[in-house]
Chains A and B, each alone.
Chain A
Amino acid sequence: MLEFDLTKQFGKGETGFLLDVKAQLPAGKIIGIFGPSGAGKSSLLRLLSGLEKADRGFLKVNNTIWSDTKERLFLKPQQRTVGYLFQNYSLFPNMTVAQNLAFAAEKNIDRDQLKELLAATQLTDKKNQYPKSLSGGEQQRAALARALVRRPSLLLLDEPLAALDEEIRQSLQTYILALHERFQPTTLLVSHDRQELAKLCDLVIEIAAGNIVQMGTPDLLFGDTQTIDLTEGSFRVLTLTRSENKLIVELIAGHQKIKIALNSASYPTLKSGDLIQIKGAAFTLLSKKINA
């Protein structure tokens, strides 16, 4: 289980934004993250990897706390078992492919494992080449193999295929699926490509303006198979939070848990457990989860 509730202010002024994210995600799955540019997708990965420190909150991976501001606990990136794949090939230019992998393993080199990873990414015959002589796709395969050397419990893929052409993307998607099947790390994949997310991910998260606004299966988020018209019928209120003029309501609609924002003045007496009719009221959909 990957569980986090993290808040961090990135930057200041117009370019700054507040990332405030909370989720419980199943272990061993591929979880996609999408949303507009600057929404906080990469920033979330940086918080999870320990490359950035949260202002508040905690991060728990497979029942181990990696950071908790209340306890003043913070594991450095070096202390976390994370595999991180950056968008712009982060292979070390001064090392060959094999040396890149061996550098990652270093203290406990398992030659068989390195051979297996090179074979799985079809780089065995390129192992003595330097990154500059590899194509973009080969570099990303090598970086993926390197990220898996330490058997990470959390694999973070930050738009790893964005800079590649379609054919190579397709082939790398297959590698990602095969390697995930083989090593089963909990994987977070940032991508703008909905088809890619639908193909690779078990679960998808949408981030907008620093918040998780939707979470569900790719079918639910990208398909229209389970569309529910919230303006028809009544729905049971699970929780509600009032702020100045906004009312955040979590309710059950069909077999989905849905979070919406309403005008507080329109529902002055609404409380948990009530049935709510949204007909005619203006609302904003914040998130939805299946299997409520």
Chain B
Amino acid sequence: MNYAPIILSFQLAFVTTLCLLLIGIPLAYWLSESRSPIKPVLETIVSLPLVLPPTVIGFYLLLAFSPNSSVGYFLKNMLGIDFIFSFSGLVIGSIIYSLPFMVHPIQAGLHNLPKNLSEAAYVLGKSRWTTLQRVLLPNIKPALFTGIVLSFAHTVGEFGVVLMIGGNIPGQTRVASIAIYDQVEAMNYGAAHQYALILLTISFVVLLMVYVVNGHYFKKTSRAGI
């Protein structure tokens, strides 16, 4: 069995989750605090990947990154970056596709914290960044954990977006979900089954971990009356 697609899936999920942490935390913080009129618009954009077929996202990204578009032309000719049929393109697509899975749990965690916590920090002279880093994030660990795990698992399992942007290049863009599709097309059900079983097991273990860890945390905090 060729493990390269499995390894590539995990590499993609790891890089995507890391990028999503950097983007998702400030975005979720802004959404949880903001009273701006553009907030609903941004919330809708973040949630779009939940309802859109992944192929739609993939199709528009393909158009945007194509050398025929102004964005793609600029990226390729000015910066020398080509997102089409490349690992970095897969990362961009995965970030957009898994964005709600990182942002929503963190936003809900921040929203559910007593407002007094951040206000108490502000009147103690602390900036918004220090408050987020030292007060808010340490008190939403289960939400952070959920965001990380769900984003990782969701990226491992994606198919439509990666197929549209990345195609099916062995070692570069052929992730596990595409390898399964490939094997089924070739009527090679045994190999497809091996990949599928690995993904199923990983997904089950990851979700079980979320429920066990969060269940344990909530039991602890409710006993403590938080």
Contact = CB atoms under 8 A, between A and B. Distances in A.
Are these two chains actual partners, yes or no?
yes
5 contacts: A88-B114, A94-B139, A132-B226, A133-B224, A150-B125
Interface residues of B, number: 20
Interface stretch (B25-33, B93-101, B116-124, B207-215): B116-124
B138 interface: yes
B6 interface: no
Interface of B: 114, 116-117, 119-127, 134-135, 138-139, 221, 224-226
Most chain B CB atoms below 10 A, which of A50, A78, A79, A150: A78
Contacts of B122: 51, 76-78
B123 A49 contact: yes
Contacts of A103: 124, 126, 134
B225 A132 contact: yes
B120 A86 contact: yes
A222 interface: no
A93 B226 contact: yes
B123 A82 contact: yes
Given A84-B120, A92-B117, 20 more contacts: A77-B122, A77-B123, A78-B123, A78-B125, A79-B125, A83-B123, A84-B123, A88-B116, A92-B121, A94-B135, A103-B124, A103-B126, A103-B134, A104-B124, A106-B126, A132-B224, A132-B225, A146-B124, A149-B124, A150-B124
Nearest to B220: A132
A37 interface: no
Given A84-B119, A84-B120, A132-B226, A90 B114 contact: yes
A106 B133 CA distance: 14
Nearest to A99: B134
B138 A94 contact: yes
A150 B114 CA distance: 23
Nearest to A81: B125
A78 B120 contact: no
A51 B119 contact: yes
Contacts of A133: 224
Contacts of B139: 92-94
